[in-house]
C-alpha cells in the first residue's frame, strides 16, 4: 500500500514467467548497513519492467517507502515489516540468492496471483472475525489491486496530481485525475477559503 506497486510485481498471473517480479537484488536499504538494518529509514525498489501485461517489455521505474515516525501506527510501518521479511527469508536462509523472488509461497515456490488472492482474503476474513467483528464485511471485493488503489486514494488531495501520478507510474496524469483525483462538492467549495485568503493579502 505504501508503494502503489502493481500486483504483477509480487504475484504474477503466471508464476513460471517471473520477468516482472521483484528479486532481492532489486532492493536497497538506506542507510545501507547490513550489520544494523534497524537503522534503515528508507527502502529503495528498482522495478525492472513496469509493463506487467507485456511479456517482452522493458521500462524501468523506481519507488521507495519510508519509516513511520508516528508511534501510534508503528504496527503499520512498512520498513519495519519489510526488514523482518528480509531477515527471515533472505539473511537467515542459507539457500537464498539475490536473484530469488522477494515473495514466495509457504512452500518456497514463486507466488502466483491465485495463491496471493486466496491468502489475502483468508487473512482479511480472519482479521474481520477476530478484530473487527463485522461478519457481513465483503472480502471478495478485495484483491491485489486494492493496495494500489488505497495508496493513491490516500495521496490524492495531499500532494499534487503530478506527484501522485509519478508515485503510481501513470504514463498520463489524466489517468490519475479520472480515477482518483475526483473532488467532492465540499472539497471544491473549500477552495474558496484559499482564494479568499489570497484576495485578502492583495
- Is 164 exposed, middle or buried, given 0-12, 13-18 or 19+ CB atoms closer than 10 A? buried
* 169/144 same-domain check: no
Residue labelled with grid coordinates 515489516: 81
* 188/103 same-domain check: no
Residue 124 lies in a domain: yes
The pTM of the full predicted model, rounded to 2 decimals, is: 0.79
pLDDT in tens, 57-93: 567 889 999 999 998 988 899 999 999 999 999 999 9
pLDDT in tens, 131-190: 877 777 888 888 888 888 888 888 887 888 889 889 988 888 888 888 888 778 887 888
With beta carbons less than 8 A apart as the criterion, state whether 23 and 89 touch: no
pLDDT in tens, 14-53: 766 667 889 999 999 998 876 788 889 999 999 887 765 5
pLDDT classification of 198: cutoffs 50, 70, 90: confident
* 37/105 same-domain check: yes
CA 181 from centre of chain: 19
Total of domains in the chain: 2
- Positive or negative torsion for Cα 105, 106, 108, 109: negative
* 19/94 same-domain check: yes
pLDDT classification of 97: cutoffs 50, 70, 90: very high
* 72/28 same-domain check: yes
Helices and strands in the chain: count of H runs, count of E runs: 6, 3
Residue 1 lies in a domain: no
Q: 194 lies in which domain range? A: 156-202
Amino acid at each position: 500500500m505504501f508503494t502503489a506497486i502493481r500486483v504483477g510485481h509480487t504475484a504474477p498471473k503466471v508464476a513460471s514467467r517471473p520477468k516482472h517480479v521483484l528479486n532481492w537484488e532489486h532492493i536497497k536499504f538506506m542507510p545501507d548497513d547490513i550489520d544494523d538494518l534497524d537503522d534503515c529509514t528508507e527502502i529503495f525498489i528498482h522495478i525492472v519492467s513496469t509493463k506487467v501485461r507485456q511479456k517482452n517489455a522493458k521500462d524501468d521505474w523506481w519507488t521507495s517507502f519510508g519509516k513511520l515516525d508516528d508511534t501510534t501506527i508503528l504496527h503499520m510501518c512498512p520498513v519495519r515489516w519489510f526488514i523482518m521479511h528480509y531477515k527471515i527469508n533472505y539473511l537467515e536462509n542459507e539457500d537464498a540468492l539475490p536473484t530469488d523472488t522477494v515473495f514466495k509461497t509457504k512452500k518456497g515456490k514463486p507466488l502466483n496471483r491465485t495463491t496471493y488472492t486466496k491468502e489475502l482474503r483468508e487473512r482479511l476474513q480472519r482479521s474481520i472475525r477476530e478484530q473487527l467483528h463485522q461478519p457481513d464485511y465483503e472480502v471478495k471485493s478485495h484483491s491485489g489491486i486494492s493496495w494500489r488503489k488505497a495508496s493513491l486514494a490516500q495521496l490524492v488531495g495531499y500532494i499534487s496530481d503530478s506527484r501522485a501520478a509519478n508515485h503510481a507510474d501513470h504514463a498520463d496524469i489524466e489517468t490519475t485525475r479520472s480515477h482518483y483525483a475526483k473532488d467532492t462538492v465540499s472539497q471544491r467549495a473549500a477552495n474558496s477559503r484559499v482564494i479568499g485568503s489570497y484576495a485578502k493579502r492583495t
